[in-house]
Amino acid sequence: MATETSRPAPEALDDPELACPIAPVVEIVFSRWTTPILWSLHTFGRQRFVELERRIKGITPKVLTQRLRQLERDGLVIRTYHPEVPPRVEYEISELGRSLAPLFAHLSEWASTNLEQVEQARRHYDEAGSPRA
């Protein structure tokens, strides 16, 4: 039985997203603050904005708001508004967001196995001096 290869069509090479079919996923999932937000929601469950802000060191309220809105738009996070006084908003990871757990588990395993080698390669590269163009 013949199988289709994963080689991109020649016209796709002009468009990085078509040349690399995972590029859109990387754009969605691996932007600067997305992984810490998803990890926090997956690990600690439903949280209010201030809880996320405390757990994710270095993120500004503006950026957290932007990322949460984008993640909600992408279907990875669910925002629940409680009409109380004062109003309460909670965020939780969606089923679609949870479906990324195996991917993150594989990346975590890769990191624990290989990051020391990456650090060694960086030290070796830095000690040798960067190549000249």
Ranges of each domain in the chain:
21-128
Query: Nearest CA to 55 among 36, 68, 73, 28?
Result: 36
- At residue 91, the pLDDT reads 98
- pLDDT in the model for residue 48: 97
- pTM, two decimal places: 0.75
Q: List, in sequence order, every residue forming a beta bridge with 78; answer none if it has no partner.
A: 92
From residue 48, give the alpha-carbon distance in Å to each of 30, 43, 53, 104: 22, 14, 9, 23
CA-CA distance, 92 to 37, in Å (whole number)?
Answer: 10
**Per-residue pLDDT at 2:** 46
DSSP letter, residue 99? T
Q: Does the domain at residues 21-128 carry the CATH identifier 1.10.10.10? A: yes
pLDDT on residue 124? 94
Sole residue written with tokens 């002009």? 14
How would you write the pLDDT of the chain (133 residues) with one tens digit per residue?
Answer: 444 555 656 565 667 667 788 888 888 888 889 999 999 999 999 999 999 999 999 999 999 999 999 999 999 999 999 999 999 999 999 999 999 999 889 988 999 999 999 999 999 999 988 676 6
Check residue 59 and give its pLDDT. Answer: 95
By DSSP bridging, strand 47-48 and strand 88-93 are antiparallel
Find where tokens 């949460």 sit: 68
User: Could you tell me if 53 and 61 are in contact, meaning their C-beta atoms sit under 8 angstroms apart?
Assistant: yes
